[in-house]
């Protein structure tokens, strides 16, 4: 497994279960991260973004007051926010396709199922650090490009190549 120095990162962990926050904090410290902000409520997490400079957020889907989807939509939708481009790793014990798609369409960067293991969390952190996705904006979406990589086996026509006015603008964070 690749290792990188994560000691300079500032991470926000938002989970309604204080024991899960404690577990994630221990994992993050094991990766060398010492600046960890914690919230057990979506509104508290939103306030933490206003107070702290956060590099990565780890957010549970089932937060109270504001759930993880609502929190993500508020962050991505605020054009004046310095945190609009923050990578968001969403955690959830519920991984039905509908929930994953809803999270993706809200603008999360990565999705991680619970129960989680230290290796999976580390791999998601590496992904958002080493392979940041460009942000795109359309009339109904702002967030990381939902396409992971071009499909080299794609044999059909490239619709976007034919129509340059596709409604999407690439934005790089």
The reported pTM is 0.84
Sort 115 into a burial class: Cβ within 10 Å, 0-12 / 13-18 / 19+.
exposed
Mean pLDDT in residue range 139-144 = 90
Confidence of residue 130 (pLDDT cuts 50, 70, 90): very high
Phi, psi angle pair for 128, to nearest 5°: -70, -25
At residue 173, the pLDDT reads 54
At residue 156, the pLDDT reads 62
Lowest mean pLDDT among 60-64, 111-115, 126-130, 145-149: 145-149
Domains delineated in the chain: 10-133 (3.40.50.2300)
Report pLDDT digits (tens) over 69-123.
Answer: 999 999 999 988 889 999 999 999 999 999 999 999 999 999 999 999 999 999 9
Report pLDDT digits (tens) over 161-173.
Answer: 554 455 555 555 5
Inter-residue contact 57 to 87 (CB < 8 Å): yes
């Amino acid at each position: 497994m690749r290792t990188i120095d994560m000691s300079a990162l500032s991470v926000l962990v938002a989970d309604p279960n204080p024991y899960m926050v404690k577990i994630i904090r221990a994992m993050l410290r094991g990766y060398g991260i010492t600046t960890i902000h914690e919230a057990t409520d979506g509104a508290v997490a939103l306030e933490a973004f206003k107070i702290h400079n956060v590099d990565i957020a780890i957010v549970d889907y089932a937060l109270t007051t504001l759930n993880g989807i609502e929190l993500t939509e508020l962050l991505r939708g605020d054009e004046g926010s310095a945190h609009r481009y923050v990578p968001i790793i969403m955690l959830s014990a519920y991984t039905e396709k509908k929930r994953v798609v809803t999270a993706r369409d809200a603008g999360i960067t990565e999705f991680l199922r619970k129960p989680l293991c230290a290796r999976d969390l580390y791999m998601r952190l590496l992904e958002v650090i080493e392979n940041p996705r460009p942000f795109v904006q359309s009339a109904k979406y702002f967030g990381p490009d939902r396409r992971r990589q071009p499909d080299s086996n794609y044999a059909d026509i490239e619709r976007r190549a034919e129509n340059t006015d596709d409604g999407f603008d690439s934005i790089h964070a």
